[in-house]
Amino acid sequence: MKILPWMIEISDCGADSREFRESIFSLGNGYMGTRGFRPEEPGAHSAWRSTFISGFFEYIRPGITDMVNQPDFSAAEIRIAGRPVTELPLSDFRQRLYMDCGLAEWEYTAQAEGAAVRIKVEKFLSMSERHTAAMRFTLTPVNSAVDCSVAVGLDGAVRNLPIADNQLQENTEFARIWGEVRTEPLEGGGMLRARTHVSGRATAMCFSAQGRGHERSSRELDGEYVGSRFEARLEPGRRLTVEKLVSVACFRDGPEPERLACEALKRAAARGFEGLLEDTQLAWSELWQDMDIELTGSAEWQGALRYNIFQLIQSTPEGDGRASIGARGLTHGRYKGCYFWDTEIFMLPMFSCMRPAAARSLLEYRYHTLDDAVKSAAGFSAKGARYSWMSADTGFEQCETWDTGCCEIHITADIAYAIGSYFEQTGDEAFLRDCGCEILIQTARYWTDRFNYCPAEDRYHLLFVKGPDEYCGVTSDDFYSVRMAAHNLRLAARAVGFLQERFPEKLAELGLKLGLGADEPGKWLELAGKTCERFDEERGLWLQDATFEYLEPLDIAAHKTGNLPLYRSISFDRLQRYKVLKQPAVLMYMALRPGEFSQDELRAAWDYYEPRTLHDSTLSYGIHALLAARLGLGDAAVSYFEKSLFLDLRDVMSSTGREGIHAASLGATWQAVVFGFCGLTLRDGVPACEPRLPPHIGSVRFHVRARGRRYRIELSHFGSVITEICEL
């Protein structure tokens, strides 16, 4: 693989790397995403040729949903001398992804009956018309005349592959989500309408196809497929080109998805393939003006860093407050497409700093699901709002592993933390007033019910919890969860103060709606001040939880070779009795709120927990890189950073093909660069930097937004220059 500053190139087309390539070349525009399969190559199964729409889920069991694999709008077939290219020997294969404009391109030579034909396939999802995708197929015989044909269409015969959240369970059972699929030819193309089997959720797709250089064209209609075929006997040097434009709309867009899809197709057809590509390039260049990070010193690091940012942008439903970013974005149905703390803790900081509008819509999703969180809390006999560990289009729990779903409750505090940080950076009072305060108040109320008071100690304990280190079993007083909950409680008290001062009418309205007692903020603060965290004075060490110190030591080097997670070879039950961590926990909290600790405490925690951490989650490397950079541990910072930076591009965990792109790691990589190597802080909305660049990075340049102002930040080993930019 070649990683260039703006392009990724792969020249291997072997079957072994196919799933990997399909993940890496995934395309998305926030509204929808599609895996990077070659349109003309049939999937090993239709569930692998996946296309998703942000926020489009359907029930597969009572209460449990899956992200829906949409009808296949990339359907295509190329034939040379009557034979599908996928059965022919291919040579000179090259596959490229252009990150400046979101274009994927495949080029290769296919041989049939002595004729060699050069084939180029291009595909992109429009960033300017988010309901639109475009493809172009170009066939050029090289040495002798040959019969060529290209068929393109829409295919509704697709299945889902719901994958359980139990990481050991691979699913091989496909689910049919679409109850009804209807296709019809239209002038110059066709239309497909489909409804899901349980809730009747509709998707409509239209396509138009235009050929050049063909002798004949025909329509094809076969059950759930509608398409157009273009055929010609081509002389060497003559070309057959087929351009396919597709538009997609669904029930989420309004009551008439068919009309919306038809209108989108008309707009797309008026621009054509080239026009749409130009508009998309322009839209991407505007995004890159906000989000790019320029590095000097390593072209590979530069390209890989852009790839991390690029993939995160592609999966982000900016402007749609009813959806968030799944753990694998829109690149795979792993975890049933669900949303985790991954969004708020790992991905959101990039958007808060660089693209606040996107950060805001991600947080709006949590407001959209607040009522469900209130019902969930009630289901756990608690007041307030309890957010689900895994959620989808509703806020109801999608996690089917009981200990995680019931006990990994820190997500509620993570959401509160994210609201606090977003407000701190952006100063977005309207969001805090209209959405944030209510979330903070309701989540604080949940904690008042979730902690248990011990009169003998005059302390509150957090019992039966699972921290971010999921190998801790079900434990008590998990440091991360306790501190985050205390922060949540304090933020809620501050939120009430904020309303009192800035928007007293809103406070009165909320007070009435929620039955807010005047004594509640005081109780929150009292609880926050009496939680139980364990500090070992002798070692100067913050302890992870109530049980970690009782666990049995494990010789990690003897058990873990390479980067494969240990849960593949040792059972969870055994793992949770070893003194090892799946991913950072105390260190995770320290990464988020370093100001609460002395340098000695940070170092002691690093020295103790880092050697015991297995990095069995992809969320681990980037956070360790960030902490190592802050602690001045240059070599460790670089070594962790490289794992995070290339996590998917080099398939570090051997799961990128099977599971898709790891969205939280993309965000952690960004944090390692900006908060770690560049040492960016935004206290009171004022950016400051403390560069700790690795030796082979010469300089870094990027932009941030804070409290309505925009800044250019330039750093080198000698210091940093921060310039405010006037925006017209």
Among 135, 54, 132, 38, which residue's Cα sits nearest to residue 93? 38
Task: Give the per-residue contact string, 541-560, with ligand BGC (x = CB under 6 A; - = no).
Answer: --------------------
Among 200, 630, 83, 708, which residue's Cα sits nearest to residue 426? 708
Nearer to ligand BGC, 230 or 340 (CB): 340
Contacts with ligand BGC: how many residues (CB under 6 A)? 11
Task: Give the per-residue contact string, 421-460, with ligand BGC (x = CB under 6 A; - = no).
Answer: ----------------------------------------
Nearer to ligand BGC, 217 or 618 (CB): 618
| Positions 563 through 592 that interact with ligand BGC (CB under 6 A) | 582-583
Residue 124: CB minimum distance to ligand BGC, A: 28
Name residues whose C-beta falls within 8 Å of residue 378's C-beta, 6 or more positions apart in sequence.
Answer: none
Out of 340, 431, 608, 646, the residue judged to bind ligand BGC by CB under 6 A? 340
Q: Look up tokens 């072997």; give the residue.
A: 14
Q: What is the CA radius of gyration of the chain?
A: 26
Among 58, 44, 335, which residue's Cα sits nearest to residue 180? 58
Out of 206, 327, 527, 631, the residue judged to bind ligand BGC by CB under 6 A? 327
Which one of the spans 39-47, 338-346, 369-377, 391-399 is the region binding ligand BGC (CB under 6 A)? 338-346
470 binds ligand BGC (CB under 6 A): yes
Residue 411: CB minimum distance to ligand BGC, A: 9
Q: Are 482 and 527 in contact (CB under 8 A)?
A: no
| Positions 67 through 106 that interact with ligand BGC (CB under 6 A) | none
Which one of the spans 1-9, 78-86, 293-301, 337-345 is the region binding ligand BGC (CB under 6 A)? 337-345
Residue 668: CB minimum distance to ligand BGC, A: 11
Residue 167: CB minimum distance to ligand BGC, A: 6
| Positions 656 through 675 that interact with ligand BGC (CB under 6 A) | 664
Residue 408: CB minimum distance to ligand BGC, A: 8
CA trace torsion 58, 59, 65, 66 (10° rounding): -50
Task: Give the per-residue contact string, 185-224, with ligand BGC (x = CB under 6 A; - = no).
Answer: ----------------------------------------
Query: 23 in helix, strand or coil?
Result: helix
Residue 663: CB minimum distance to ligand BGC, A: 8
619 binds ligand BGC (CB under 6 A): yes
**Residue 268, CA distances (Å) to 29, 153, 246, 285, 376 in order:** 15, 16, 8, 20, 43
Out of 613, 617, 669, 671, the residue judged to bind ligand BGC by CB under 6 A? 617
How far apart CA 51 and CA 49 sit, in angstroms, is 7
Name residues whose C-beta falls within 8 Å of residue 266's C-beta, 6 or more positions apart in sequence.
Answer: none
Measured in degrees and rounded to the nearest 5, phi and psi for residue 562 equal 75, -165
Residue 3: CB minimum distance to ligand BGC, A: 24
Nearer to ligand BGC, 93 or 572 (CB): 572
Out of 77, 342, 642, 651, the residue judged to bind ligand BGC by CB under 6 A? 342
Which one of the spans 24-32, 181-189, 336-344, 521-529 is the region binding ligand BGC (CB under 6 A)? 336-344
Nearer to ligand BGC, 165 or 231 (CB): 165
Name residues whose C-beta falls within 8 Å of residue 479's C-beta, 6 or more positions apart in sequence.
Answer: 467, 533, 534, 542, 543, 544, 545, 585, 586, 589
Packing angle of the helix pair 520-529, 437-450 (nearest 10 deg): 60
Which one of the spans 3-11, 191-199, 275-283, 335-343 is the region binding ligand BGC (CB under 6 A)? 335-343
Name residues whose C-beta falls within 8 Å of residue 143's C-beta, 6 or more positions apart in sequence.
Answer: 114, 115, 116, 236
Nearer to ligand BGC, 543 or 585 (CB): 585
344 binds ligand BGC (CB under 6 A): no
Nearer to ligand BGC, 340 or 503 (CB): 340
The one-letter amino acid code at 280 reads: T
- DSSP assignment string, 323-390: ----TTTTS--GGGG-B-HIIIIIIHHHHHHH-HHHHHHHHHHHHHTHHHHHHHHHHTT-SS----SS
Neighbours of 412 (CB within 10 A): 31
Residue 652: CB minimum distance to ligand BGC, A: 14
How far apart CA 131 and CA 140 sit, in angstroms, is 31
Site residues for ligand BGC per CB under 6 A: 327, 340-342, 468, 470, 582-583, 617, 619, 664
